[in-house]
Amino acid sequence: MSKRPGKNKTNLEETRSVFLTIAREEFAEFGYASASTSRIVQKSGMARGSLYYHFGDKNGLFKAVYEEIMHEGLETITNKMAGSQTHWDALKTGISAFMDLCMDPVYRKITLMESQAAMTYSERYEVNHRTLLGKLQELLPSLLQKGYFPGHTQDTIAVFLLGMLAESGRTLDTVENIEQTRELFGHAIESTLNLMKPIK
């Protein structure tokens, strides 16, 4: 029988959750550079030392928010992929689900826009490897074996697909008609994928 978390542990988790929720709103509204830990602390009603205890500084707080959102996105994508009959269908469903996530301005701004200012490429890649990139790489061995993505390796096609999706998602931040642009990118990505089916 597992032990119930003690009061102190529960309080620590609740405090961390409060900071993450407020910080997500702060980074989404003001961006990384202009976000204020003073505002975050004030809104939380807790001591500044508590924020430092959990996250170290603003950069540590952003990284925690980024990772939380990335894991939430992975869960959403995984759930939508669950009913797929084949790995190819799962890949297409997952890609479409990712583009739908990019329609959310909070997801888009924190994971695709502000993360580039707050984190190194290696830091972002590490989180991606545990989330979206990792999920993508689960599907690829079977697809490559069946002749999909001819001429590519698992690593190169995974990075290529993720880069294509990330740039498509960022572009949604610059357009007036986001729904129409999402549809156009959806068609473009599907056309690109169709070129990578097995050669008969």
Q: Is residue 199 part of a domain?
A: no
The pLDDT score that the predictor gives to residue 10 is 66
Q: Is residue 200 part of a domain?
A: no
Tokens of 79: 């759930």
Q: Is residue 24 part of a domain?
A: yes
Q: Is residue 57 part of a domain?
A: yes
Please tell me the number of Cα atoms within 13 Å of 115 on its side-chain side: 26
Average of per-residue pLDDT across 144-173: 94
Q: Is residue 2 part of a domain?
A: no
Rounded to whole angstroms, the Cα distance separating 134 from 162 reads 11
Q: Is residue 1 part of a domain?
A: no
CATH code of residue 21: 1.10.357.10
At 43-63, the pLDDT tens digits run 999 999 999 999 999 999 999
Average of per-residue pLDDT across 4-18: 71
The pLDDT score that the predictor gives to residue 2 is 42
Q: Is residue 12 part of a domain?
A: yes
Centroid of chain to Cα 85: 25
pTM: 0.90
Q: Is residue 71 part of a domain?
A: yes
Q: pLDDT-based confidence at 199, cuts 50/70/90?
A: confident
Domain that holds residue 100: 7-194
Q: Kindly state the greatest CA–CA separation across the chain.
A: 65
Q: pLDDT-based confidence at 7, cuts 50/70/90?
A: very low
Q: How many domains does the chain have?
A: 1
